[in-house]
Structure 1
Amino acid sequence: MSLDYQVLQAAARWFAVLQSESASEADREAWRAWLAAPEHARAWQRVEHISGRLEPLAGDRFSPAATALLQPRQANRRQALKTLSILCGGGALALAAGAMPWRSWTADQRTAVGEVRDWRLDDGSRLWLNTDSAVDIAFEDRTRKVSLFRGELLLQTVADRRPLMLRTAEGILLARDAARFSVLQRDGSTQLSVFDGTIEIQLAERGSSGTVTRGQQIAFDSHRIEPGQPVQSGRQAWAGGVLLADNLRLDDFVAELARYRQGYLGCDPRVAGLRVVGAYPLADTERVLEALASTLSLRINRRLPWWVSLEPLQTTA
C-alpha cells in the first residue's frame, strides 16, 4: 500500500522532533495522538526502517507503538502461538519462500547502494551490475547460468555452444546466441530490455514462454508477460555512470535517482509532472539535486540528513 507524500513528510518531521534533545513530554504526547491513525503508523514505520535503526528512539518506552498499531486488533494468544509455530516448525517453508532475498546476502557478486561495477566473464561475455544488486554466476559444461537476486544487470553475451540462462524470481531468460540486454528485478516483477539479439522467457509458475527481440522492452511476473514496448534508449546508460532523462517526469526521475542514494528521496506531488531532460552523473547525486533545483526552480528540503525531498520553491510546508 502506497503512502501519501504529506503523511510521510509529517512522519519525518516527528522523527526529527523526537530525536532532538529538546523534545518534551508534550511533544511525545502529541506524537502519540498523531500516531493513532493507521496510515500515520505505517508512515512512521517506514521512517524508522529508512533510518536504519534496530531500536528506533532507543530508551523511549513508546517507540513500539507504531508496530503495535499495525497488528490485528483482535490478536490473541492462539494467533500468537500459531505465528510462532509457522516461524519455528515451518522454517523450511519460510526459507524457501524467501530464497531469492536470502541468497542475495551470499551472492557471488554484489554492489552497494550507489555503486556500479563490471566484469569480464570466463567466456568473454561482459557483465555490468547496477546499484544495490546481487548475482550468482555458474558456468558449467552445458550451460552458462546467472541468477539475479536483487537489483539490475546489463549483459553483453558472446556466441557459445552453451546457452546462457538467467534466472530471476519470476522466471528464466534464455540467450542462445550473442545478445545485449538488461534485466531489472522489481518487487514482484522482472523488466527485460533487449538492445541486441533475441531472448526467450519461461515463466516460473505457469511454464508459458515468449520471445523478446531487439528494440523491445517488456515486464513479466511469474504468471503473465505484459505487452512489449519500444526499449527506452537510456535504459543502459547507467553502465557508463549516467542517468539519462529524455523528457522524463520529475517523479519518475527522482524514483530512479533514489536507487543510488542511502535514505529517502522524494518528490512533492505539486511538482511531480515537471519534465527532466539531460544526462546526469550517478556518482554525485547531490550535484544532480542541485542541478534540478536550479533548472526547475525547486527547493531541496532536507528534513533529516537522510530524508530529502524536492518541493516547490515557494511553500508553506
Structure 2
Amino acid sequence: MPSTQPSSPKQSASDQATAWFARLHADDVTAAEQEQFKSWYRESQQHAQAYDKMLLLWDRLEAPGKRVNARVEAEQPALAHRPVPGKQPYIRRLMAASALALVVLLSYQLPVHYQNWQSDYYTAPGKQLTVVLNDGSRLTLNTDTALAVNLSDSQRSIELLRGEAYFQVSPDKNRPFIVSNGIAKARAVGTAFSVKKTDEDMQVIVSEGTVEVSAGKTDAPTLVHINQQVDYQQGRVGPVIPTDILETLAWQRGQLIFKRQPLARVITEVNRYRSGQIMIINPKLKERVVSGVFDTADPNAVVDGVKTTLKVSSMNLSNQLVLLY
C-alpha cells in the first residue's frame, strides 16, 4: 500500500481516527505513514481527542478480541492448526476484520449517545415515536433518530441530528417550518414530507404540498412537489426526481422494500433497525443485487434471506455483531 494518508479531510475526526488506527496496526505500515499520522495527530485537538478515544475503545476490546480468536479456532480447528494452502491468510483476514468491526461498532455508539443528549426527542434502533408540537405539527421519528426542536415567533426550526423523520406541518404563513441537517435546509409552510440524514447528506421526500430545499446563501431554492424527492450530496442539491411514496415511505407501515439494490446499501439500511451491526467482510459481496420486502420488526430476517439467495456465510460474534463473508 502506498504511504499516503488513509483518512480524508471530508471525513469526521472520528472516521479519520478509525482509518489511522486500522492503518497503523497493519503489518505493512511504513515509517512515512507513521510520520504522517504524527502530523495529523498534532494538527488539532479534535484529532488528538478522537484518536485517544479510539485507543480507549481498543483497550476495552482486548477481552472480546480474545473470545473472537478462540471461537474461530474452535469452529475451524483444521484451518487454525494445520497449514492449508490458500486458507490461512483468509482466516487471518477474517479475524482482523472481526476485531476492527468491534472497534467500529463501539466508535459508532459514542456519538449516538452525544446526539441523544443534544436532542429533544430520539428513538432507539427498531423504535418509532410520534410527537405533536405546540403548533399542532406532527413529527414521526423513524428508527435510530434524534432531532432538536426550536419554536420561535418567527419560525419553527428542526435540526435533524441523525436518522429519518416524517413531518406533517400545521400551516402558519408567519412561521415557516424548516428542517436542517446542519448544512442543507427543507422549508415548508403547510405540507407533509420526510427528511433523512446520512452523514453530511440529506434526502427529502414530499408526500403532500411543496417543499423548498436549499444549501448555502447563493443558490436558488429547489422546489420539490408531491411524489417527488431530492438528495443533497457532496455539497450540492441534486435534481428533483419522481418517487414511489408507497415504497420510499414503507417504513411507516413497518416494511423495508428493496428493488434490485446493492447488498451494501441494503445492509446499511437494515442496520438502522438493529441495536448492533451487520458487516460485510468480503468486498465482492457488496455489489450483489438484492430484492425483497422485509419486516422492520425482524431485521435479522434479512441475514437469513441473504444467506439463502446469495449463498453467503455469516458469523455471529455477539448478539449485536454479525459478519457476512
Instruction: Report the CA distance shift for 1:141/1:288 in structure 2 as closer, same or farther (over 3 A).
Output: same
Helix, strand or coil at the partner of 1:285? coil
Mapped to 1, the partners of 2:114 and 2:220 lie a distance apart of 27
Helix, strand or coil at the partner of 2:248? helix
Mapped to 1, the partners of 2:68 and 2:156 lie a distance apart of 54
Helix, strand or coil at the partner of 1:298? coil
Q: 2:308 aligns with which of 290, 294, 304?
A: 294
**Unaligned 5+ residue runs, structure 2?**
1-6, 8-14, 27-61, 72-79, 81-88, 90-94
Q: 1:197 aligns with which of 178, 187, 209?
A: 209
Q: Which has the higher contact order (CA 8 A, sep 6+)?
A: 1
Measured against aligned partners, the alpha-carbon deviations of 1:69-116 in whole angstroms (never above 9, x if no partner) come to xxxxxxxxxxxxxxxxxxxxxxxxxxxxx9x99665231101112222
Instruction: State the AA in 2 paired with 1:163.
Output: P
Partner of 2:144: 132
Instruction: State the AA in 2 paired with 1:202.
Output: S
Partner of 2:224: 212
**How far does residue 174 in structure 1 lie from its aligned partner after superposition?**
0.9
Measured against aligned partners, the alpha-carbon deviations of 1:228-255 in whole angstroms (never above 9, x if no partner) come to 3322542211122211122323221111
Instruction: State the AA in 2 paired with 1:291.
Output: G
Identity %: 26
Partner of 2:105: 50
Partner of 1:276: 290
Mapped to 2, the partners of 1:292 and 1:113 lie a distance apart of 21
Instruction: State the AA in 2 paired with 1:146.
Output: I
**Unaligned 5+ residue runs, structure 1?**
28-33, 35-39, 55-97, 312-317
Instruction: State the AA in 1 paired with 2:313.
Output: R
Mapped to 2, the partners of 1:195 and 1:209 lie a distance apart of 18
**How far does residue 209 in structure 1 lie from its aligned partner after superposition?**
2.7
Instruction: State the AA in 2 paired with 1:176.
Output: V
Length-normalised TM-score, structure 2? 0.62
Instruction: State the AA in 1 paired with 2:186.
Output: L
Q: 1:228 aligns with which of 240, 246, 250?
A: 240
Instruction: State the AA in 2 paired with 1:280.
Output: F
Mapped to 2, the partners of 1:42 and 1:250 lie a distance apart of 18
Equivalenced residue count is 249
Note the 1:32-43 alignment, pairs <5 A.
none
Tell me if 1:121 matches 2:169.
no
Q: 1:181 aligns with which of 190, 193, 218?
A: 193
Mapped to 1, the partners of 2:273 and 2:300 lie a distance apart of 11
Mapped to 1, the partners of 2:135 and 2:96 lie a distance apart of 51
Mapped to 2, the partners of 1:218 and 1:263 lie a distance apart of 29
Tell me if 1:245 matches 2:293.
no
Kept in 2, the 8 Å contact 1:101–1:150? The answer is no
Mapped to 2, the partners of 1:195 and 1:226 lie a distance apart of 19
Instruction: Report the CA distance shift for 1:193/1:53 in structure 2 as closer, same or farther (over 3 A).
Output: closer
Helix, strand or coil at the partner of 2:249? helix
Length-normalised TM-score, structure 1? 0.64
Partner of 2:57: none
